[in-house]
Structures are given as structure tokens and as C-alpha cells.
Structure 1
Amino acid sequence: MSRTLPPLNALRAFEAAARLGSLSRAAAELHVTHGAISRHVRSLEEALGAPLFEREGRGLALTARGLRLRDAAGDAFATLQATWGALQRAREPAAALVLGCPGSLLARWAIPRLERLSAELPTLTLHFSAREGFDPALSGLDAALLLGEAPWPSSWQVHALAPERIGPVLSPRHAQLAALQDAPPSALRGAPRLHTRSRPQAWPRWFAAHGLETADANAGTGFEHLTYLLEAAVAGLGVAIAPLELVQADLDQGRLAAPWGFVETGGQWALCTTRGSDDARIPALATWLRTELQPGR
């Protein structure tokens, strides 16, 4: 009897390579060799009688068949992971909810609110996992708290919490504070600017919202993580761009100033789970997060 499903290991190798756009990165994620990933993909192509990838420079591009299989495989693995997690939680009802979130969000927004969270949701135990990227299966997580925007992975169930608002901030120690704080937004084109690689669209979005040319919007010093960016801003090294909620405490304490205010980007704060998750703790957490993210909270 012929197989009606492809081999699981081959499908897993293909899904990782398709999602990551690289055989090498797929091999690293699955802890196998580059050759093993290549053989698995080749076996699927031979069984299908058609290519799943095409070479594109040094990278890979999915064929039409490859795109269909990637989406189906990603959804299937996400569903399996969600179901397996639900079965484990049913066996261990007291297990902590594993919540992933970017390190800057964890340090600057979540941790200062943990005492209030514990008081208002006393039956919820959280285990935080700091990470900067989230795969479609939300591997190792029950949920993810993040700032992002559509399109979201099709395997996610997204609980929208609040709109993302960003704005330029600078320190009272900044050498140009007196000249800048009463200047129009256009003055920032000539000021030393700081940006982060995790949100490269932040400065361009802010410039566009003020009717300014977006070319070279990210000129200036870049940082890998928002936490480092904001520490540089507090030290007076330049004007940073950041979400309001992550700098609110600095604004309240006078460590930073925001002379030009904040604008919505079209992005949002979101609590994400795998589609089909029936974890009863998620709606309660989403409601609490929405309340915490209300202006003036």
C-alpha cells in the first residue's frame, strides 16, 4: 500500500526550511546536519515529482506547490502542538502558563506590573520566556505577548489588546534639548537619531505620520534591542523612537522627555496563542492586559 502521508521527519525538515528560508537554519533548529535536511527535502520532491524550492541567489524560494505544503504543514504542526499542550495541561492543571515576550517588553512593562497581576489574578501562575522572535507554532510557549502587526501567522489566534503608539524621546542631558524641544518635527531630520533593528519601520512611520520624507529615516546609531536603545537615549546620546508604554515610567520620572508626542502606527499590542487553544487562562489574561494598557493606567 502506498503512503497517503509524507514521512513525518521529512515533512518537519521541509517545514522548518520553508519557514526559515534556509536549509542551514533548519538544520540548526532541528539539531541535524545540513545534508539531512537536504535529503529529506529531496525525498519529498521525488515522491511528489515536482520541486518544492527554487534557488534564488544564495537563498531559497518556494514554488507554488512548496507554498501550499508550507502552509498546510505549518498549520498541522501548530495544531498538534496546541493539542499536545492542552493534554499536558489537563494532566497538570497547576502548571504555569509559559508566556513569551521580547526582553525589552518584559523588563520595562511586564515586570513592574507583576505584583498587581498576582493580586488581581491570584490563580494564574506565569513563567516568562524572553525571546525576540516567534515561530508559527509558538514553540515551547502557551502564549506570546508582543507588539506587531498583520498579517499574523495563520496558525495563531490573536487577542488584540491596544494600538501601538510610538514617539521620539530624548534625555534632559541631551546637548540639543533646549533647541529641539520647541522645534517642529522636521528638526529631527538633522538631529542624532537612535533606532533598533527589531522595529526598523518605527522612524519611517513616524516621519510619514508628520508628512516628512522617510528616506534615510534610520540614519544614526542602531541597536539590537530596544532596552539598549533607551539606555543610550537616557545617557543623552541621541533621540530614540519607542512605544509609549515602554517609556512611560521614564517620562513620569523625568529621565526622558517626549516633546512631539506619540502617534499610532497601525500595529498593536497582542496576546497570541496557537489557533484552537482552549486554555481558559488566556481570556482572563487578555482582559487584564487590555485594562493595564488603557491610557493613564
Structure 2
Amino acid sequence: MPRPLPSLNALHAFEAAARLGSVSRAATELHVTHGAVSRHIRALEDEMGLSLFQRQGRGLALTPAGQRLRDTSTAAFAQLREACEELRQDASLAPFVLGCPVSLLARWMIPRLERLMADLPELSLHLRPQETRFDEALNGLDAALLAGEPPWPATWQVRPLARERIGPVVSPQYAQDQALVHAAPEALLDLPLLHTLSRPKAWQTWFQGVGLPGDALLLGPGYPHLYHLVEAAVGGRGAAIAPAQLVADDLASGRLIAPWGFQETAGQWVLAVPARGPSLRAEALTFWLQREFMAPS
């Protein structure tokens, strides 16, 4: 029974000769003799039962079968070379550049940075704060960490980390002053509700999730960044709507409470990598982030 694949050495010799149009040039590229390349090609033709080259004057011309095998083998060897180069780059410990929205960076990544560096010492992470949308090529980045909704750009490979959950948070003192601790969610209808200017419909989404009319709410002050929004809530300026993961540390420390819990949205926390494909370090970071995002909040 024939082998599923011919000898890789024979394929490599054939691919070089077919791509370069010369056995001699293939021998030079592969650092072997002219005779060695010729023997590999003859062995490949014998094993496949096909003629791959035909003599044309003093040169060689590919048969239709040879043309097909050249196109396929050239693409395959190019992919192998690219993968090996990426592995070499990873091994060199070049900085791994991770783009991250400023609020996520300040409230989630930095508090976990020491643990990340201990768990993934080979990552050599460089964090790049990002205020605007990530471009479709993720230029200058090895990966981007963000929350969003599909469809994603075709130039990204997206690794889901966790579903986004949002909910109201207040300071314990504010909750006591407004009698919110044991109140139903309807109590929020009478309060100014803090929000971020980038997500003015977050409150409406949460209200609809708990069965309340979203058009009845009264929005209060809007803040440019979630970081400022959460600090305003900590300072007792009202109830803020925030993602569960980004207030997990505040809830754990008692700076904030979430009397009515969190609701899932259509959004996801994801790690996006350029379409050229994830590296081993990107895959390791994906698993680490999945574990951290799924940790109890």
C-alpha cells in the first residue's frame, strides 16, 4: 500500500527545482549536489507513477501534474517556513504587544499584572493603552483585549474569553442612604443613573434584562471613561452601570456593592490576534485570560 505522502526530502527537492526552473539552482539553494536533486526527483516520479518534468531543449518544463504539485508544495513549504519563523520570534522573547482599552488596563489588567508575569514569564508583555477603536489590521499589536459584539473584522482571529455581564453598583453608604440594600430594582427609577458616554444604552439593556421598562429610567451624569464612572460611584455620587469583571476587585474589597446582580449582554470579552495567526505566546495568554475572566467575581 503506498504511503500517504512521498518522501519530504524528495518533495523539497522537486519544489525547489520547479520553483527555480533549474536543477542546478535548486541544488545551490538546498546545499546539495546536482545529482542528489535529480535522484530525488526521479524517486518522486517513480513513487507517484507520474512524469513531473519534461525535457524542453536544454531546460526543463513542468507537466500539468508537475504544475499542480509545484503550486501545492510551494504553498505548503511557505506555510512551514512562516510557522518556523514565528516560533523563532517567540523564542527570542521579543516584547509581546497587547492593546488594551484604558479603563480595562487600569481596573483589571494592572491589578493582575504581577500574577500574569509570574504565570507566563516567557511572555515579555508590553501593554499599549488604546482609547480609540482598534483598526482592522491590529497594526503594531500582537493581540488586542477588548469587549465587543460580532461581527468582527475579517482580518482578526478572535478568541472568546467570557460573556460580558453588566449591572448596577453603588457604594455601601449610598445604598444605605437611599434605602437600596433590600429594595427592588424599581427603586433605581427614581434615581439619577451614572453612565459612560460611550455606552449610553447600557442602563436600558440592564433594565430590559430584569423586566423593567427601559424608557422610564432617568439618566444622570455621563463620564468619558468607565474608570471615572466607577470612581464616581465609589464616591457616593449615584448608581453606576458597569461590567462585572471590571468591578470585581471593588466588590471584593467592599468599596462597592451590587444589590441586584449582573445580566449577560450580547457582548463578549475577547482576545483578537491578526489574521496571520496566533503565536504560541498568544495561545498561552488566551488560556490565562479565560481562566481569569471566568474566576468568581
Q: TM-score, normalised by structure 2?
A: 0.67
3-state SS in 1 of match to 2:179? helix
- Tell me by how many angstroms 1:118 deviates: 1.1
Encode CA deviations 1:262-289: one digit per residue, 9 max, x unaligned. 1111211100012132422111100011
One-letter amino acid matched to 2:198: S
- Tell me by how many angstroms 1:193 deviates: 0.7
What residue number does 1:185 align with?
185
- Tell me by how many angstroms 1:186 deviates: 1.7
Contact 1:196 1:223 in 2 (8 A): yes
One-letter amino acid matched to 2:270: A
Matches within 5 A, 1:4-23: none
3-state SS in 2 of match to 1:101? strand
Matches within 5 A, 1:45-84: none
Contact 1:170 1:177 in 2 (8 A): no
Give the unaligned 5+ runs of structure 2: 1-81
What residue number does 2:243 align with?
243
Q: Compare 122-131 and 273-282 and name the one that shifted more.
A: 273-282
Matches within 5 A, 1:1-297: 90=89, 93-132=92-131, 133-174=133-174, 177-215=177-215, 217=217, 219-296=219-296
Give the unaligned 5+ runs of structure 1: 1-82
Structure 1 Cα separation of the partners of residues 237 and 199 of structure 2: 19
Provide closer, same or farther for how the CA distance between residues 218 and 269 of structure 1 changes in structure 2, counting only shifts above 3 A.
farther
3-state SS in 2 of match to 1:180? coil
Encode CA deviations 1:50-71: one digit per residue, 9 max, x unaligned. xxxxxxxxxxxxxxxxxxxxxx
Structure 1 Cα separation of the partners of residues 198 and 102 of structure 2: 11
Structure 2 Cα separation of the partners of residues 284 and 103 of structure 1: 23
What residue number does 1:5 align with?
none
Provide closer, same or farther for how the CA distance between residues 92 and 122 of structure 1 changes in structure 2, counting only shifts above 3 A.
closer
- Tell me by how many angstroms 1:242 deviates: 0.5
Provide closer, same or farther for how the CA distance between residues 115 and 175 of structure 1 changes in structure 2, counting only shifts above 3 A.
closer
Provide closer, same or farther for how the CA distance between residues 116 and 92 of structure 1 changes in structure 2, counting only shifts above 3 A.
closer
Provide closer, same or farther for how the CA distance between residues 217 and 125 of structure 1 changes in structure 2, counting only shifts above 3 A.
farther
Contact 2:175 2:181 in 1 (8 A): no
Provide closer, same or farther for how the CA distance between residues 217 and 151 of structure 1 changes in structure 2, counting only shifts above 3 A.
farther
One-letter amino acid matched to 1:256: L
Provide closer, same or farther for how the CA distance between residues 135 and 251 of structure 1 changes in structure 2, counting only shifts above 3 A.
same
Structure 1 Cα separation of the partners of residues 178 and 191 of structure 2: 13
- Tell me by how many angstroms 1:151 deviates: 1.6
What residue number does 2:78 align with?
none
Contact 1:143 1:273 in 2 (8 A): yes
- Tell me by how many angstroms 1:130 deviates: 0.8
Number of positions where the alignment pairs a residue of Structure 1 with one of Structure 2: 213
3-state SS in 2 of match to 1:147? strand
Contact 2:169 2:233 in 1 (8 A): yes
Provide closer, same or farther for how the CA distance between residues 254 and 207 of structure 1 changes in structure 2, counting only shifts above 3 A.
same
One-letter amino acid matched to 1:252: A
CA-atom RMSD in angstroms: 2.3
3-state SS in 2 of match to 1:276? coil
- Tell me by how many angstroms 1:216 deviates: 6.0
3-state SS in 2 of match to 1:220? strand
- Tell me by how many angstroms 1:290 deviates: 0.6
Structure 2 Cα separation of the partners of residues 212 and 157 of structure 1: 37
Provide closer, same or farther for how the CA distance between residues 218 and 295 of structure 1 changes in structure 2, counting only shifts above 3 A.
farther
What residue number does 1:51 align with?
none
Structure 2 Cα separation of the partners of residues 286 and 91 of structure 1: 15
